[in-house]
C-alpha cells in the first residue's frame, strides 16, 4: 500500500541528499578544472587545496614518521601552507612567475583574483590560473625529486618550462581567432 503523503518514490540519490548537509560550492573549482590544465596538475592542485597530499605533518599525523623538518628549511614544519606558499623555494618560484606574467597579488588569493579580475580577458585569467595550478604541481614534483634524488631545480628554470608548456598547450587547443589585446598579451608573456 502506497503512502498517501509521499508524492515521490525513494531514490538513493535523494536519500544521500537528505542525509548529507548541503555543501557550499568552492570558488576554486573553475581554477582547478581549467581547460588549459593537464589532469595531473589539476589533481595535485585539488589534493593540495583539500590538504590531502602526503606532507610530513600528515605523515606524522598518521604515525608513520617521527621527524617534521622540511626538506630545505630545517626546523620548519612541512605543511601545505609552508610547502606551497612560505618556503624559500616556493616564494622564489611565485615571485619569478609573477614577474614573467607581469601580475601582482598575494599567491594565496589568486582564486579571488580569477573571480574578480574582470579587467583581464577570460583567456588571460585562464592562462594565469593554469600557470599557478601547474606551479603547485611543479613545486610538489621538485620537492619529491629533492627528497628522493637530491636534485634541486632552480626556480627560473622551473617557471620557464612551465610557461612554455602552457603556451604550447594553449596554441594547440586554440582554434578561434584572438582579440588583438589577447594576442599582444600572450606575445608579451616573457619566457
Mean pLDDT of 132-137: 95
- With H, G, I as helix, E, B as strand and everything else as coil, classify residue 69: strand
Q: How deeply is 50 buried, as exposed, middle or buried, from its count of CB atoms within 10 A (0-12, 13-18, 19+)?
A: exposed
Q: Give tens-digit pLDDT for 7-23.
A: 678 899 888 888 888 87
Query: So what's the pLDDT on residue 72?
Result: 45
Q: d(Cα 155, Cα 142) in Å, to the nearest integer?
A: 10
Higher pLDDT, 52 or 69: 52
Mean pLDDT of 53-71: 72
All residues at 6 or more sequence positions from 88 whose CB lies less than 8 Å from its CB, including other chains: 72, 73
Share of the chain above pLDDT 90, in %: 32
Task: Assess whether pLDDT exceeds 90 at residue 163.
Answer: yes
CB 128 within 8 A of CB 110: yes
Higher pLDDT, 157 or 188: 157
Domain regions of the chain by residue span: 29-173
Residue 123's pLDDT band, with cuts at 50, 70 and 90, is confident
Q: d(Cα 16, Cα 19) in Å, to the nearest integer?
A: 5
Residue 97's pLDDT band, with cuts at 50, 70 and 90, is very high
pTM of the model as a whole: 0.80
Query: So what's the pLDDT on residue 65?
Result: 64
Amino acid at each position: 500500500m502506497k503512502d498517501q503523503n509521499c508524492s515521490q518514490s525513494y531514490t538513493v540519490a535523494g536519500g544521500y541528499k537528505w542525509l548529507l548537509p548541503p555543501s557550499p560550492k568552492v570558488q576554486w573549482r573553475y581554477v582547478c578544472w581549467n581547460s588549459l590544465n593537464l589532469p595531473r596538475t589539476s589533481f595535485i592542485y585539488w589534493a593540495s587545496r583539500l590538504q590531502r597530499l602526503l606532507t610530513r605533518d600528515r605523515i606524522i599525523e598518521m604515525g608513520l614518521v617521527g621527524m617534521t623538518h622540511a626538506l630545505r628549511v630545517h626546523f620548519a614544519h612541512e605543511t601545505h601552507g609552508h610547502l606551497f606558499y612560505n618556503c624559500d623555494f616556493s616564494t622564489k618560484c611565485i615571485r619569478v612567475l609573477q614577474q614573467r606574467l607581469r601580475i601582482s597579488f598575494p599567491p594565496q588569493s589568486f582564486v579571488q583574483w580569477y573571480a574578480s579580475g574582470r579587467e583581464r580577458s577570460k583567456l588571460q585569467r585562464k592562462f594565469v590560473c593554469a600557470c599557478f595550478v601547474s606551479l603547485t604541481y611543479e613545486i610538489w614534483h621538485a620537492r619529491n625529486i629533492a627528497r628522493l634524488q637530491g636534485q634541486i631545480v632552480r626556480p627560473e628554470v622551473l617557471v620557464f618550462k612551465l610557461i612554455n608548456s602552457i603556451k604550447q598547450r594553449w596554441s594547440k587547443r586554440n582554434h578561434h581567432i584572438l582579440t588583438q589585446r589577447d594576442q599582444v598579451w600572450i606575445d608579451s608573456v616573457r619566457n
